[in-house]
Structure 1
């Protein structure tokens, strides 16, 4: 696995910063974000996709990214699409 750094939350400090990367092998988007609080997790379970179990499976997490990171997330999506097109 080789991660391409895309961007970090410019409004966060030196540690615990929400960050986005793209896995150059799989073109997966890899995110670091704030762990969602229990109320958010409960609402995600309650409003889960139709036909899906109302649980957050082991190995999955609900994370929260600041809205001002949308441009960084778009950049990650674009980088993943470009890499997949070359593949």
Structure 2
């Protein structure tokens, strides 16, 4: 695995660190962020995708990405697409 650092939450200071990377081999976007609170997790389960079991499968979780990081997520998507062209 070869992770390309894309960006970190500029408002997190030195303690919090929501961060985005792109895996150079798979082009997956890798995110580190805040664990969603129980109310958010419950709503995600209740409003699950049609045809899917109403649960959060083992090995998955719900995270929150701060809205002010949208530009970093766009950059991660662009980097993943560029990697496909190589």
Bin for the TM-score computed over the shorter chain: over 0.9
Q: Secondary structure at the match of 2:20?
A: strand
Runs of 4+ in 1 over 6 A off after TM superposition: none
Structure 2 unaligned residues grouped into runs of 5+: none
> Could you tell me how far 1:16 is from its partner in structure 2?
2.8
2:70 corresponds to which residue?
70
2:14 is aligned to: 14
> Which residue pairs with 1:39 in the alignment?
39
Instruction: Give the superposed CA RMSD.
Output: 0.6
- Cα-to-partner distance string for 1:2-30 (whole Å, 9 max, x where unaligned): 10000000000212310000000100000
Residue 59 of structure 1 is matched in structure 2 by 59
Gaps of 5+ in 1: none
In the alignment, what sits opposite 1:4? Answer: 4
Query: Partner of 1:48 in structure 2?
Result: 48
Q: What TM-score do you get using the length of structure 2 for normalisation? A: 0.97
